[in-house]
C-alpha cells in the first residue's frame, strides 16, 4: 500500500493506478459531503466527479501545508458551491428571532437513520441548505459565509435560522409519524 | 456553537457513502480526454514549429537570393572611387567608345569656346572625373555665363584635347596639382585649381533658357572579379556523400474501425459511455545515408525504428487481462467478455527502411529540399496496455497466426529545411507525411484503412565528402 506522499506523487505524474487508489481511499467520505450539498444522489455524484477531476489536475500544486483530507474537502465544497451558485438566490430575509427558537433536547438525531437525516438536509431550499452546511457542519462563521457566497452576514444568519427551523419541524414531524422519541 | 449544530456535526463527521462505479469511469474518461487534449496541444505546437521552420527557411532563402542580386548590382553601380580615378586613361577610352556624341561635342568646341571668350556663341561643359561622369550641357547662344576647362590656361582646341586624353594621369591629386581651370563668368576669366572643381556651383536649371538640353551620363562598368566566378563553381562540388542521424515525432491516425471495435460493448452499455478514440502519436529514430546523383538530385536511405500508438476506451476484456481485446480484432462474432469501461493503449512497432529521392530547391548554406519515396516497414509487434496498470500488457508479433501483416509499404513525402554548420555538418528540420499503402491488420481482421502519420523530424548530417 502506497504512503500518502508516494500516492500524491504518482497522481501528480498522471499515473492512473495511483489516481484510482486515491479515489478509492477518499470517495466515500467525500460522497457524504456531496450528498449534503446536493439535492439528490445523481447531483452529488456529478459534484464528486468534477471535484476529483479538479483534485487530480491540481494535486501537483498541493504543498503539504494542510492535511490532504482538508484540502480535498475544500475542493469538494467549492465545487459544490459552484454547482449551486446559479441556483442560489439568497434573498435577504427577515431575521428570525434566535430567542424564539427553543432547543428541543428531546429529539435525538441518533433516533434517525443517516439516510433520513441526509434526505432532510437535501429537502431544504438551496440557499438554506448551503448556509446550514457551511455554518453547522463545516464551522464557518456567518461573516465568512457572507464573503464566500457574496451575501450579507444578516442574510446568512436569516438563511441559517430558516434552515434550523425547517429541520426542527421536519424532525418533529418524522418523530410523531414513526413514533421516534 | 449550540447543541443543535454540535449534534448535526457529530452525525455527519464520520459519515461515508459509496458512490456508484460510473463515477470513477467518468473521472477516468475526463482524465483521458484531458491527456488527449494535452497531446493535441503538443501536436499543434509541433505543427507550428514546422510551419515556422518552413517560413523561416523560405525567408532565409528569399533573403539569400535578394542579397545575391543586391551584391551583383552593387558591383556594377558602386565601384570604389579610387579604382575609377586610378584608371582615368580607361575613362577616356570608355568616353570615346561609349559616347561618340561627347567626342563630337568636344571637337566642335574649339570654335565655340573661342566664341565664348568673345562673348558670342558658347557651349557649357561640366566635367568631373571624381564623379566618374561627363555632363555636357548643350546650350547655343549663351551670353551670360560660360564655363570652359582648359589645360595650362590655354583654350581647348583639338591638339590640347588630344594631350589631355592621351597623357596618362596617375591620380586625382596629380590632376589637381597640374591642371588649372579658367572659369568664365560675368564676362571675365578667373583661374582656379582643378581640385576645387567640385566646389563650383552648377548652373541652376531654370536659368538655362531656350534650346534643347542634353544630359549624358557615362558610367564605368567594371567587370565582375574572377574570384566571384570561381566561388560559384566551387559550391556544386561539395556534399556528395553524407551520413545522418534522424529523430521525429508527431501525430498518427490509424484510419481504421478496429479501435472503435474495442468499445463495441461499451457503446451498448446503459451508461452511454462515449468511446471515441483520441488522436494517436508516432515517433521514430534511425540512421540515413545519402548521396548526390545529379547537381540538384539526391538519394537517401537507411534504417529506422518506428512506433505508432493510440489511446482508446473499451469495456471489452476481463479485470486483469487484455487478451480478449486482441482477439476481438479478428473475431467475427461479437462475443466478448465485458467489464467496466477503461482506457487502453495500442502501440505498433516497426523497423522501417526508407528510400527517398530529393530535389534541392536551394543548395547553399541554407538548404531547402523536397523528398519523396517509399519505405518498407517490417512489423515487430503490437502491444496493448492499460494505462491504469490494472491489466497486464498483451503483445502480439507478426507471423502466420498473427492478425498483423509482417511487411507493410508506405509512401513518404517530406520537406527538409537545413543549415550548414562549418564545412562538415548540416542540421535540418524535416516536416513530413508517412502514408501506409496497406492496413496494418490482415484482411481477415475487423479492420480496413491505411494509417497516416504526420511528423516533424530533426536531422544531423555529417558530410563525408
One-character DSSP codes across chain A = ---HHHHHHHHHTT-HHHHHHHHHHHHHHHHHHHHHHSSSHHHHHHHHHHHHHHHHHHGGG--SSS-HHHHHHHHHHHHHHHHHHTT------PPPPGGGS---TT--GGGS-HHHHHHHHHTS-HHHHHHHIIIIIS---HHHHHHHHT--HHHHHHHHHHHHHHHHHHHHHHHHHHT--
Residue of B nearest to A104 (CA): B4
Contact of A172 with chain B, judged by CB distance below 8 Å, is answered with no
Residue of B nearest to A108 (CA): B7
CB-based contact A32:A23 (threshold 8 Å) = no
For residue B133, the model assigns a pLDDT of 40
CB-based contact B8:A163 (threshold 8 Å) = no
User: Domains of chain A: which residue ranges?
Assistant: 4-85, 98-178
Residue of B nearest to A26 (CA): B16
CB neighbour class for A165 (10 Å; exposed up to 12, middle 13-18, buried from 19): middle
Contact of B392 with chain A, judged by CB distance below 8 Å, is answered with no
**Closest approach of A45 to chain B, Cα-based (Å):** 6
**B180-209 as b/e: b if 16+ CB within 10 A:** ebbbbeeeeeeeeebeebeeeeebeeeeee
For residue A54, the model assigns a pLDDT of 92
Instruction: Using an 8 Å CB-CB cutoff, list chain B residues near A136.
Output: 4-5, 8-9
Q: Which of A16, A25, A110 should we substitute to test contact with B (largest number of B Cβ atoms within 10 Å)? A: A16
For residue B450, the model assigns a pLDDT of 81
Q: Which of A13, A51, A53, A157 should we substitute to test contact with B (largest number of B Cβ atoms within 10 Å)? A: A53
Contact of B390 with chain A, judged by CB distance below 8 Å, is answered with yes
CATH class of this structure's domain A4-85:
mainly alpha
**Closest approach of B9 to chain A, Cα-based (Å):** 5
CB contact under 8 A, A49 and B26: yes
**Closest approach of B293 to chain A, Cα-based (Å):** 50
Interface size between A and B, measured as CB pairs under 8 A: 87
CB contact under 8 A, B389 and A16: yes
Which parts of chain B have pLDDT scores under 70?
1, 73-213, 215-216, 218-238, 256-278, 318-319, 328-336, 443-448
Instruction: Using an 8 Å CB-CB cutoff, list chain A residues near B17.
Output: 28, 31-32, 35
Q: Which of A49, A57, A60 should we substitute to test contact with B (largest number of B Cβ atoms within 10 Å)? A: A49
Task: Give the Cα separation of B95 and B227 in Å (integer).
Answer: 28
Contact of B272 with chain A, judged by CB distance below 8 Å, is answered with no
Point out the residue among A53, A137, A168 whose CB comes nearest to the CB of B31. A53
Contact of B2 with chain A, judged by CB distance below 8 Å, is answered with yes
Packing angle, helices A41-58 and B21-77, rounded to 10: 40
B134's CB contacts (< 8 A; 6+ apart) are: B95, B99, B102, B127, B128, B216, B217, B218
Q: Is 90 exceeded by the pLDDT of residue A48?
A: yes
- In chain B, residues 195-214 whose CB comes closer than 8 Å to chain A: none
Regarding the domain delimited by B230-463, which CATH topology (the fold level of the hierarchy) does it fall under?
Porin (2.40.160)
Whether domain A98-178 has CATH 1.10.10.10: the reply is: yes
Please give the grid coordinates belonging to residue A50. 468534477
**Closest approach of B241 to chain A, Cα-based (Å):** 45
Point out the residue among B10, B16, B30 whose CB comes nearest to the CB of A32. B16
Q: Is 90 exceeded by the pLDDT of residue A175?
A: no
Contact of B12 with chain A, judged by CB distance below 8 Å, is answered with yes
For residue B353, the model assigns a pLDDT of 94
Instruction: Using an 8 Å CB-CB cutoff, list chain B residues near A57.
Output: 34
CB-based contact B436:B452 (threshold 8 Å) = yes
What DSSP line would sit under B92-149, residue for residue? HHHHHHH-HHHHHHHHHHHHHHHHHHTTSS--EEEEETTTTEEEEE--SS--SEEE--
CB contact under 8 A, A45 and B7: no
Task: Give the Cα separation of A162 and A154 in Å (integer).
Answer: 12
For residue B332, the model assigns a pLDDT of 56
For residue A38, the model assigns a pLDDT of 92
Contact of B19 with chain A, judged by CB distance below 8 Å, is answered with yes
CB contact under 8 A, A20 and B16: no
Higher pLDDT, B17 or A3: B17
Point out the residue among B4, B12, B18 whose CB comes nearest to the CB of A164. B4
CB contact under 8 A, B17 and A31: yes
Contact of A114 with chain B, judged by CB distance below 8 Å, is answered with yes
Task: Give the Cα separation of B286 and A165 in Å (integer).
Answer: 75
Instruction: Using an 8 Å CB-CB cutoff, list chain B residues near A105.
Output: 3
For residue B304, the model assigns a pLDDT of 94
For residue B226, the model assigns a pLDDT of 60
**Closest approach of B394 to chain A, Cα-based (Å):** 18
Is this structure's pTM higher than 0.80? no
Instruction: Using an 8 Å CB-CB cutoff, list chain B residues near A17.
Output: 388-390
Q: Which residues belong to CATH 2.40.160.20 in chain B?
A: 230-463
For residue A171, the model assigns a pLDDT of 87
SS3 B220: coil
Amino acid at each position: 500500500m502506497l504512503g500518502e506522499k508516494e500516492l500524491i506523487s504518482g497522481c501528480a505524474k498522471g499515473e492512473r493506478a495511483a489516481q484510482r487508489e486515491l479515489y478509492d481511499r477518499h470517495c466515500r467520505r467525500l460522497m457524504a459531503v456531496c450528498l449534503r450539498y446536493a439535492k439528490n444522489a445523481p447531483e452529488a455524484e456529478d459534484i464528486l466527479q468534477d471535484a476529483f477531476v479538479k483534485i487530480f489536475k491540481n494535486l501537483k500544486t498541493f504543498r503539504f501545508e494542510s492535511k490532504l483530507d482538508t484540502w480535498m474537502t475544500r475542493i469538494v465544497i467549492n465545487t459544490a458551491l459552484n454547482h449551486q451558485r446559479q441556483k442560489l438566490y439568497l434573498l435577504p430575509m427577515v431575521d428570525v428571532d434566535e430567542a424564539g427558537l427553543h432547543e428541543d433536547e428531546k429529539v435525538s438525531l441518533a433516533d434517525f437513520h443517516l439516510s433520513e437525516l441526509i434526505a432532510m438536509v437535501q429537502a431544504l431550499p438551496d440557499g438554506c441548505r448551503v448556509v446550514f452546511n457551511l455554518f453547522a457542519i463545516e464551522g464557518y462563521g456567518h461573516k465568512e459565509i457572507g464573503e464566500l457566497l457574496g451575501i450579507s452576514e444578516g442574510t446568512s444568519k436569516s438563511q441559517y435560522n430558516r434552515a434550523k427551523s425547517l429541520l426542527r419541524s421536519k424532525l418533529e414531524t418524522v418523530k410523531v409519524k414513526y413514533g421516534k422519541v | 456553537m449550540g447543541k443543535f449544530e454540535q449534534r448535526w456535526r457529530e452525525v455527519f463527521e464520520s459519515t461515508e457513502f459509496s458512490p456508484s462505479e460510473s463515477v470513477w469511469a467518468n473521472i477516468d474518461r475526463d482524465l483521458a480526454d484531458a491527456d488527449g487534449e494535452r497531446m493535441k496541444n503538443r501536436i499543434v505546437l509541433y505543427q507550428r514549429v514546422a510551419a515556422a521552420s518552413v517560413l523561416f527557411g523560405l525567408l532565409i532563402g528569399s533573403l539569400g537570393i535578394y542579397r545575391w542580386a543586391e551584391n551583383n548590382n552593387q558591383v556594377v553601380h558602386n565601384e570604389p572611387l579610387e579604382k575609377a580615378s586610378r584608371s582615368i586613361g580607361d575613362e577616356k577610352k570608355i568616353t570615346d567608345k561609349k559616347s561618340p556624341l561627347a567626342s563630337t561635342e568636344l571637337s566642335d568646341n574649339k570654335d565655340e569656346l573661342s566664341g565664348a571668350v568673345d562673348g558670342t556663341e558658347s557651349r557649357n561643359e561640366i566635367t568631373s572625373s571624381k564623379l566618374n561622369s561627363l555632363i555636357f550641357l548643350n546650350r547655343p547662344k549663351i551670353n551670360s555665363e560660360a564655363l570652359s576647362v582648359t589645360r595650362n590656361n590655354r583654350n581647348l582646341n583639338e591638339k590640347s584635347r588630344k594631350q589631355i586624353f592621351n597623357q596618362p594621369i596617375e591620380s586625382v591629386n596629380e590632376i589637381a596639382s597640374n591642371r588649372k581651370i579658367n572659369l568664365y563668368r560675368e564676362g571675365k576669366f578667373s583661374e582656379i585649381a582643378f581640385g576645387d572643381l567640385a566646389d563650383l556651383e552648377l548652373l541652376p536649371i531654370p536659368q538655362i533658357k531656350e534650346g534643347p538640353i542634353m544630359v549624358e551620363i557615362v558610367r564605368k562598368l567594371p567587370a565582375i572579379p574572377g574570384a566571384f566566378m570561381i566561388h560559384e563553381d566551387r559550391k556544386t562540388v561539395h556534399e556528395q556523400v553524407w551520413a545522418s542521424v534522424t529523430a521525429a515525432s508527431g501525430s498518427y491516425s490509424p484510419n481504421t474501425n478496429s479501435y472503435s471495435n474495442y468499445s463495441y460493448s461499451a457503446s451498448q452499455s446503459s451508461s452511454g459511455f462515449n468511446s471515441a478514440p483520441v488522436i494517436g502519436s508516432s515517433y521514430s529514430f534511425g540512421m540515413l545515408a545519402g548521396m548526390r546523383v545529379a547537381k540538384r538530385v539526391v538519394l537517401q536511405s537507411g534504417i529506422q525504428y518506428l512506433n505508432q500508438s493510440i489511446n482508446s476506451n473499451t469495456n471489452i476484456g476481463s479485470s486483469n487481462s487484455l487478451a480478449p481485446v486482441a482477439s476481438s480484432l479478428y473475431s467475427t462474432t461479437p462475443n466478448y467478455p465485458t467489464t467496466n469501461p477503461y482506457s487502453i493503449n495500442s502501440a505498433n512497432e516497426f523497423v522501417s527502411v526508407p528510400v527517398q529521392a530529393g530535389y534541392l530547391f536551394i543548395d547553399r548554406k541554407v538548404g531547402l529540399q523536397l523528398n519523396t519515396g517509399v519505405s518498407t516497414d517490417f512489423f515487430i509487434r503490437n502491444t496493448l496496455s492499460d494505462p491504469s496498470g490494472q491489466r497486464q500488457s498483451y503483445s502480439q508479433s507478426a507471423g502466420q497466426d498473427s492478425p498483423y501483416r509482417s511487411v507493410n509499404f508506405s509512401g513518404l513525402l517530406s520537406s527538409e529545411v537545413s543549415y550548414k554548420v562549418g564545412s562538415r555538418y548540416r542540421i535540418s528540420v524535416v516536416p513530413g507525411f508517412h502514408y501506409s499503402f496497406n492496413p496494418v491488420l490482415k484482411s481477415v481482421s475487423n479492420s480496413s484503412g491505411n494509417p497516416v502519420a504526420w511528423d516533424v523530424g530533426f536531422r544531423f548530417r555529417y558530410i563525408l565528402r
